[in-house]
Structure 1
Amino acid sequence: MTERDSHGLLHRKLGPGKLVIASHNKGKLREIGELLAPYGIDTVSAGALGVPEPEETGTSFVANAELKARFSADLTGLPALADDSGLCVEALGGEPGIFSARWAELEDGSRDFMEGMRRVHARMQEAGEGAGHDAHFVCALALAWPDGHIESFEGRVDGIITWPPRGNRGFGYDPIFQPLGHGISFGEMEPKAKHAMSHRADAFAKLVSAVF
């Protein structure tokens, strides 16, 4: 079923049944699961279905989210929801951006976001204090159906980079990101408070309005 939203755009509605969460990132799986919980969606992770992670060859958050969603929908025959998100630091020209996960990669191919945060901090020091501390998180959500139809939504939250990292809640770069108007980092914030303002919550609200 499709319906037009308040802007006249046509969206396909998500019907009852299973929804694949096209991610192997435990932090993302947890947050997306918590955001979906009020809607009674029957979710299953791509990993639980044996779906591997595709190579992310897109040049934008939306392109990578759509690539991952289509990959899982094609392999499972089920609707699939994918997230692509990252940290964009103004002093670094928007980096690490779509390469946020790669900045945390170690030589053995594993990921250590503490190392990723150190790299962000080191690069910001090279840029100099005058470059500022402004940053933002971006999240793109893509919902793909097995017939090839796809819906995509993007969210954003602005803030500053802080050092040293603070808090052990959240995941990824959360301990060095302090959202505007708040005195604590995402890493220190209660999950419920983060869900009320995060880039993922922003994108998710747009998705819910359009397809649920």
Structure 2
Amino acid sequence: MEKRQRLLLATNNPGKVREFRRLLARSGFEVVTPADLGITIEPEETGTTYGENAALKAQAFADAGRCLALADDSGIEVDALGGRPGMYSARFGGPGLDDAARTALLISELHGVPDPKRTARYRAVVALAWPAGREPMLFEGVQEGTIGHEPRGGQGFGYDPVFLVDGVRAQAEISDDEKDLISHRGKAVRAAAEWLASHCP
């Protein structure tokens, strides 16, 4: 049997690992995690754009695993907050906060903002990198929505409990299949997978 090419998920975030595994289930690659390969690095995100950070992470893991690696950098951009927290979504409010605390902080910062002005979007840039050499490839996905007034649902992670996909349902209330179809990360990963299918058969 022909050995499948290895694709390393360049993240230590369990929520992202679950999404990546679902999205890449039919890619034809052997999808592995840093834990599978005994990789324990935490690349510093020193870039000034989503793309730069995604490329930095993908390249670091590609070099460490000596194989093709896929990383993303993503964030939630809230119009009433001037696009914040954006690239700093995972560090919003400081390093001591968890997802629930960051979500609560976001809601508090939008106190008094009426529904029509609570527009927001998730943005993700996925990077593919190879060990030693070629320039990483970048793929972007955007998902428009609004910010709710309280957390709802038990699915997803991050800001999903307050990100309303249709003005009514939170991203944390929809099925994995629906989320994968409409989400920022789903769009970006599908674009990357399509590129891989045509360039790395």
- Give the alignment's TM-score, normalised by structure 2: 0.89
Deviation at 1:131, TM superposition (A): 8.1
Name stretches of at least 5 consecutive residues in structure 2 with no aligned partner. Answer: none
Mapped pair 1:46 → 2:34 = yes
2:7 to 1, 6, 19: 19
- Kept in 2, the 8 Å contact 1:104–1:112? The answer is no
Question: In the alignment, which residue of structure 1 is the partner of 2:53?
Answer: 64
- Kept in 2, the 8 Å contact 1:88–1:96? The answer is yes
Between the two proteins, the alignment pairs up a number of residues equal to 193
Q: Which string of whole-angstrom CA distances, capped at 9 and with x for unpartnered residues, describes residues 28-84 of structure 1?
A: 000000000012321111233223111111111111100000001111211110011
Question: In the alignment, which residue of structure 1 is the partner of 2:63?
Answer: 74
1:201 to 186, 190, 199: 186
1:44 alignment partner AA: V
Q: Secondary structure at the match of 1:160?
A: strand
Deviation at 1:198, TM superposition (A): 0.4
2:171 alignment partner AA: F
2:121 to 136, 144, 167: 136
- Give the alignment's TM-score, normalised by structure 1: 0.85
Q: Secondary structure at the match of 1:187?
A: helix
- Kept in 1, the 8 Å contact 2:23–2:190? The answer is no
Name stretches of at least 5 consecutive residues in structure 1 with no aligned partner. Answer: 1-14
2:142 to 153, 156, 161: 156
Q: Distance in 2 between matches of 1:31 and 1:166?
A: 20
Q: Distance in 2 between matches of 1:208 and 1:17?
A: 13
Identity of aligned residues (%): 37
